[in-house]
Amino acid sequence: MNIALYIRHIDPENQPRLDRLITLLNARGVATHIVRDCLPACPLDFLLSIGGDGTLLSSVHLIAQHDIPVLGVNFGHLGFLTAAGRDSLDSLVSDLMAGNYTLEPRTLLHVEANHPGGSLSTFVLNEVYLHRFVDQPLLHTDLYVGADRVATYSGDGIIVATPTGSTAYSLSCGGPILTPDSGCLVITPIGVHNLTLRPIIVPDSALLRLVTHSQPGQFSLGIDSRRQPLPHGTQVNLSRERFSIRLVRLGSQSFFSAIQQKLGWGGPAAPQL
C-alpha cells in the first residue's frame, strides 16, 4: 500500500506526532510519501492531509482528477472536514488497515471568471464568494439561475456553497446545513441591504451566473481559502464539476456525528424549570 502525506507546514510541537504516524504506517508495511507540490509517480491508495481544513482544501487541488481518497488528519484547531485528530493516530491507522471506513463522494464546483483583463478557470470544494473591499461602496451583483434572473444582491457580497461548504462561510452568514448527498447548492447573501433576500437552495445541476455591475474599483473573488481581486463587470459562471472527490470517514463516523461533535449541534436539551 502507498499513502501520500500532504503537508504545508508542521509546527515543531506536532513534528513528533507526524513522525509517529509515519512509524505506525511503516510498521504495517505501508510506503509513505511526503508531498507538497506534486504526487509521486507510484499509484496511491490514499492521501492523508496533515493540518486543518485549509490544508485539506489545498490538497484537493493536488489530487484533482486522480480519484484518490482523501483523509484529513487534524493537526490544527476545529478541523471540521478532517476525520481524525492528532491524538488518535493509533486508531486512525488501525481503522485504515482494517478497512473500517467509508468513502463519501463530495461535489465540486467549476468556476470560470471572465473580465476584460483575462480569465480564470478552476474548481472548488467549499464555496465561491464575491465580497466588496472595505473602502469600496456596496457590491451590486446580479444572480442568474439558468436563463432566469433571480435578483440583484446589494450588500457586502454573495456566497455559492456546495454541501461541503454549507458548514463553512455560508453557515456563519445564516445559510442552512446541507448533507453531502443532497445534490444541492446554497446561495447565501452577505450583509445584504434587502432583508427579503434570504438564502436559497438550488439543484447542483443548475448553471449559475454572477455579474457585478460596472463601476469603478474592484471586488474580491474567494475560491475556497484563496482570494484575488477582480474588476467590477466581471462575470462568474458556476456549474457542477465533471469529477468529484472522496473523503474518508473512519469507523462509525458520519456527517451528523461530525456536526454534533465539532459544531456542538443538537446537544442535550436544557433542563426544564
Q: Determine whether 142 is an active site residue.
A: no
Residue 273 has pLDDT above 50, yes or no: no
Task: With a cut of 90, say whether residue 114 has pLDDT above it.
Answer: no
Reading the block at residue 190, the C-alpha cell is: 452577505
pLDDT at 268: 59
> Which residues on adjacent β-strands are paired with residue 118?
115
Give the β-pairing of 139-145 and 148-155.
Answer: antiparallel
pLDDT in tens, 44-95: 999 999 998 889 999 998 998 899 999 999 987 667 888 888 788 999 999 9
What are the chain's domains? 2-106+244-263 (3.40.50.10330), 109-240 (2.60.200.30)
6-20 CB burial, b ≥16 within 10 A, e <16: bbeeeeeebeebbee
Angle made by CA atoms 213, 218, 221, in degrees to the nearest 5? 90
Q: At what angle do helices 89-98 and 15-27 cross, to 10 degrees?
A: 30
79: left (phi over 0), alpha (psi -120 to 50) or beta: left
What is the CA 202 to chain-centroid distance, rounded?
18
Does this model's pTM top 0.85? yes
Q: Which of 37, 53, 181, 224 is catalytic?
A: 53
> Which region among 24-33, 78-87, 165-174 has the lowest average model confidence (pLDDT)?
78-87
Q: What is the DSSP string of 143-208?
A: EEETTEEEEEEEESEEEEE-TGGGGTHHHHTTPPP--TTS-EEEEEEES-S-TT---EEEETT--E
